[in-house]
C-alpha cells in the first residue's frame, strides 16, 4: 500500500531512503552474513589451511594446501561419503514414494479409521531415537516374515527411513487443498485411478515435493543413531559415523576433520540451492487463498 510516495511495510513503517538508510541496510546484511555464513566460511577456509588449533580458525588461509583432503582420501572419507549418498538417495526415493502414496489415500479417499491412521502416523514423530534403538535393532536383525538380517548393510539404513510422519503430514495437507473438481473432470474424460494420481494430483504437488525433499534429505543425511546400530565394520560406515571415528584417531589432525565436515555440509547446501524455489513455494502455498 502506498501513501504520499512511501511504501508501508508489514510493521506499519515507511521504507527508509537516502544514504544513511542504504548504509544501515548494508551493515545489517553484513552482520547477518557474518552470523549465519561466517562459521561455514571459516570451516571451508580452514580446511584449506594448516590448522593445528581448532580454536584459531581464520577467514584467510595463511598456508594454502589440499593436504587435509589428500589425507581424508587416504583415510577413506570419500568412500564413506559415497555410502552416505547411496543411503540418502535410496532412502529419500523410498520416503517420497511412501509419502505420496499414503497422502493420496488419506487426503483423497474416504475410509473408516482414516483419522486414527493419521494420528498413529503423527505419534511416531513423538518418539525419540533412543527409545526406538533397541526394538529397531531387533527387527533389523530378524526382519518379520522374511526372517533375514539387514544388519551390516546399507539396505538396513535405507528401509527404516522409508516412512517419515512429517513428510506424510505435509503431503496430506497439501493434497487436501487440491480442488475435487479437477478429479471429477478427469474421471469424466476417462482417467483411471493411476492416471488420475500421476497426471492430475502429483504434478500439482511439486511445491510440497520440494519441501519434503529438502527436509527428508537433511533428516536422512544427519542420521547417526541408525548407522551406529546397523554398521558392524568400517566398510558400511556413513560419513557422519566416520567423522566420529576420525575424531578419536590420534594420528588425524584437525584439518582432516574440517575437510570431512566440509564434505558433509556441501550436499545439504547443494540440495537446498537446487530446490529452494519449490521449497519456498511449498512453504507459502497455504498463506495465500483465492
CB-CB contact of 36 with 44 (8 Å): no
Nearest C-alpha neighbor of 118 from the set 169, 174, 176: 169
pLDDT score, position 210:
87
What mean pLDDT is predicted for residues 16-26?
79
Spatial separation of the C-alpha atoms in residues 210 and 96, rounded to whole Å: 10
Spatial separation of the C-alpha atoms in residues 211 and 168, rounded to whole Å: 11
pLDDT score, position 2:
46
Longest dimension (CA), the chain: 75
State the SS3 of 167-230: HHHHHHHHHHCCCHHHHHHHHHCCCCHHHHHHHHHHHHHHHHHHHHHHHHHHHHHCCCHHHHHH
Spatial separation of the C-alpha atoms in residues 82 and 242, rounded to whole Å: 12
Nearest C-alpha neighbor of 92 from the set 207, 212, 208, 206: 212
**What CATH number belongs to 76-284?**
1.10.3720.10
Domain boundaries in the chain?
Answer: 2-69, 76-284
CA angle 279, 161, 81 (to 5 degrees): 80
Query: Residue 6 phi/psi, 5° resolution?
Result: -115, 150
Q: Given the DSSP bridges, would you call strands 6-7 and 2-3 parallel, antiparallel or unpaired?
A: antiparallel
pLDDT score, position 287:
45
Sorted by sequence, the CB contacts under 8 Å of residue 22 that are 6+ apart come out as none
Residue showing cell 544514504: 19
**Digit-coded pLDDT (tens) for 108-163:** 888 888 889 988 988 888 888 888 889 999 999 998 888 899 999 999 999 999 98
pLDDT score, position 285:
61
CB-CB contact of 243 with 264 (8 Å): yes
pLDDT score, position 252:
73
Grid cell locating 79: 568412500
Query: Residue 57 phi/psi, 5° resolution?
Result: -80, 155
**Digit-coded pLDDT (tens) for 30-60:** 888 888 888 888 888 888 887 766 667 777 7
**Digit-coded pLDDT (tens) for 168-202:** 999 998 998 888 888 888 888 888 888 888 888 88
Spatial separation of the C-alpha atoms in residues 87 and 60, rounded to whole Å: 35
**Reported pTM:** 0.81
Residue scoring higher pLDDT (85 or 270): 85
pLDDT score, position 87:
95
Amino acid at each position: 500500500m502506498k501513501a504520499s510516495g512511501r511504501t508501508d511495510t508489514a510493521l506499519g513503517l515507511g521504507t527508509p531512503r537516502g544514504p544513511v538508510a542504504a548504509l544501515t541496510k548494508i551493515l545489517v546484511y553484513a552482520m547477518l552474513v557474518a552470523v549465519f555464513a561466517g562459521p561455514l566460511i571459516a570451516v571451508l577456509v580452514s580446511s584449506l589451511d594448516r590448522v593445528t588449533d581448532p580454536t584459531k580458525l581464520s577467514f584467510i588461509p595463511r598456508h594454502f594446501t589440499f593436504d587435509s583432503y589428500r589425507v581424508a582420501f587416504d583415510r577413506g572419507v570419500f568412500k564413506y561419503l559415497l555410502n552416505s549418498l547411496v543411503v540418502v538417495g535410496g532412502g529419500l526415493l523410498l520416503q517420497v514414494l511412501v509419502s505420496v502414496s499414503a497422502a493420496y489415500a488419506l487426503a483423497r479417499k474416504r475410509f473408516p479409521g482414516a483419522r486414527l491412521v493419521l494420528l498413529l502416523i503423527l505419534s511416531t514423530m513423538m518418539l525419540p531415537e533412543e527409545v526406538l534403538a533397541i526394538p529397531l535393532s531387533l527387527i533389523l536383525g530378524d526382519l518379520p516374515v522374511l526372517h533375514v538380517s539387514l544388519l551390516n548393510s546399507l539396505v538396513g539404513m535405507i528401509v527404516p527411513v522409508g516412512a517419515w510422519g512429517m513428510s506424510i503430514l505435509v503431503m496430506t495437507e497439501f493434497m487436501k487443498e487440491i480442488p475435487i473438481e479437477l478429479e471429477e473432470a478427469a474421471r469424466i474424460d476417462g482417467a483411471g485411478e493411476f492416471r488420475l494420481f500421476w497426471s492430475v494430483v502429483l504434478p500439482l504437488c511439486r511445491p510440497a515435493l520440494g519441501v519434503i525433499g529438502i527436509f527428508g534429505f537433511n533428516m536422512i543425511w544427519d542420521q547417526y543413531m541408525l548407522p551406529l546400530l546397523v554398521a558392524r565394520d568400517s566398510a558400511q560406515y556413513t560419513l557422519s559415523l566416520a567423522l566420529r571415528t576420525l575424531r578419536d584417531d590420534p594420528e588425524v589432525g584437525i584439518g582432516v576433520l574440517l575437510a570431512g565436515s566440509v564434505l558433509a555440509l556441501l550436499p545439504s547446501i547443494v540440495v537446498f540451492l537446487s530446490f529452494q524455489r519449490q521449497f519456498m513455494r511449498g512453504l507459502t502455498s497455504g498463506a495465500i487463498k483465492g
